[in-house]
Structure 1
Amino acid sequence: MFQLNRDSLKLGGFAGLREHQIVTDSRLFGSRKPSDTSEGIGNFVYLADARFNPKGETRMHPHSEIDVISVMVEGRVAHEGSLEHGKSLEEGDVQVQRAGGEGFSHNEVNPDDTRNRMLQLWVLPEQPGQPAGYKCYSPESGKTTRIYGGRQGESDTFDSHTTIDIVHLNAGDTTELPKEALVYVFAGEGLISERDETVAVKDGDLIRGDHLKMETVKGVSLIVVSDA
């Protein structure tokens, strides 16, 4: 089992935010990949844990042939861009933008006078040249919500063999992950096991393992990425 904590990594950032880059896959970053960051899994290639400064923003910038997922952990952002301009993300919401060959431009803005926190994930599309698209989710407490991946023809999520779930567990809950997974803890704490090995995990921990079992202490929130 592999474990990496966010706070062991260099704090960087750009424009109006500061972030820890936790996953920077070699397929995307090549020689620019920081050696202490994790590789991805499947088509999942990037994870950053960011805090926007008060009134901070990313500034308008383009993407193409990448799927961009934003998880609002604390506070809110105002979304601007070529997809769903004017949309607001509240705490707990998840935004998924598929750039495809068409591409999109966006700017995420913290409208408040206090810092917020947002996770951003990137996934490479399996088929190039797809149309741009937008989806938004509000995962519920105590449940697992699929926010990315699935079979072609489904409308609930963008299709991919790489799947991403938001898992919110209450105190005392357990969950089992039946195959290799990359797990990021973004709230709470618990114990995670792989066969005979058990480690304590908390907010900011990234875990990679096979057939993992998660037990909560005071409730926990996870991003779980796996590949079919």
Structure 2
Amino acid sequence: MTTTTLNPRVDVRRAAERFATRISWLDSKHSFSFGGHYDPDNTHHGLLLVNNDDVVHPGTGFETHPHRDMEIVTWVLQGSLVHQDSEGHNGVIYPGLAQRMSAGTGILHSEKNDSWRLTGGDTHDKPVHFVQMWVVPDEPGITPGYEQLEIENELLAGGLVPVASGMDKHAGEAAIRIKNRYAALYAARLQPGQSVELPEAPFLHLFVPRGTVTLEGAGTLETGDAVRFTATGGQKVTATEPAEILVWEMHATIAA
């Protein structure tokens, strides 16, 4: 990781510009190079390497697979997702629940649509929609770990809510801790007319997983749109319809 002299820039990326993976059980949009989709000029922004916008069909999901040396944050927008891993962690992730997995020295995990579960005798068969984001850790080879915490009440109170952070300023405040002291993720649920002000940082990434907002100085952002900020911040984001936004604040980038 490194910091350097930067020129201010606001780079709007439209939903339709993203890489896409569509198979029988998965509809996935990738903001950065991922899997078989590779563009050497689109590998990361700041410390963020993956911003995958996934819809998984009922009764399906990602079978057990490995990860290593990555901080993985999953944010569910609709439905619920079952997590199981080789360290013995099990959890159901649903809207309003912050979840982080530290892959560290190596971990195996699966993520599946929870719709097969029975509640009151009814079978639920809805897709699960979630965003999965990866940032690099401060150092390789850490012990794998898992954490989740309910933050629904904080989201209902409004404003940018710290979801996951390794930054000192969020000690005792962020919902979950990640192993990178230069990065923090925020979420906000906005009703029409409500606004939040973005933090200022060398690198910001704003993603609109649902709804429509206006970004001060840049105009309308719709579902799936993203903005990469360099050496700037402080702009207002205002909802024009019910919306949810995810914002990464990053004070370093990956060394070239």
Q: State TM-score, norm by structure 2.
A: 0.76
What is the RMSD computed on CA atoms of the aligned residues? 2.6
Of structures 1 and 2, the one with the larger relative CO (CA 8 A, separation 6+) is 2
| Dislocated runs of 4+, deviation >4 Å | 152-156
Pair 1:105 & 2:101 matched: no
Q: Which amino acid aligns with 2:189?
A: H
The aligned counterpart of 1:3 is: 12
Q: Which amino acid aligns with 2:197?
A: E
Superimposed CA distance per residue, residues 57-92 of structure 1 (whole angstroms, 9 cap, x where no aligned partner): 100011110111111111111112124533111233
User: What are the within-5 Å matches in structure 2 for residues 1-228 of structure 1?
Assistant: 1-13=10-22, 16-24=25-33, 33-34=38-39, 38-83=42-87, 85-101=89-105, 103-112=106-115, 113-139=125-151, 140-141=155-156, 142-146=158-162, 147-151=164-168, 154=171, 156-160=176-180, 161-179=182-200, 180-193=203-216, 197-209=217-229, 210-211=232-233, 212-228=235-251
SS of structure 1 residue aligned to 2:126: coil
Superimposed CA distance per residue, residues 18-57 of structure 1 (whole angstroms, 9 cap, x where no aligned partner): 20111238xxx8x96236x844333211111111022111
Quick one: percent identity of the two aligned structures?
19
Aligned residues: 219
Taking structure 1 as reference, are residues 134 and 14 closer, same or farther at Cα in structure 2, changes over 3 Å only?
farther
Structure 1 residue runs without a partner (length 5+):
none
CA distance in 1, matches of 2:27, 2:166: 29
2:71–2:179: 8 Å Cα contact kept in structure 1? no
Q: Does 12-21 or 64-73 show the bigger shift?
A: 12-21
Larger radius of gyration: 2
Structure 2 residue runs without a partner (length 5+):
1-9, 116-124, 252-256
Q: Which amino acid aligns with 2:39?
A: P
CA distance in 2, matches of 1:144, 1:214: 11
SS of structure 2 residue aligned to 1:23: coil
Taking structure 1 as reference, are residues 213 and 100 closer, same or farther at Cα in structure 2, changes over 3 Å only?
same
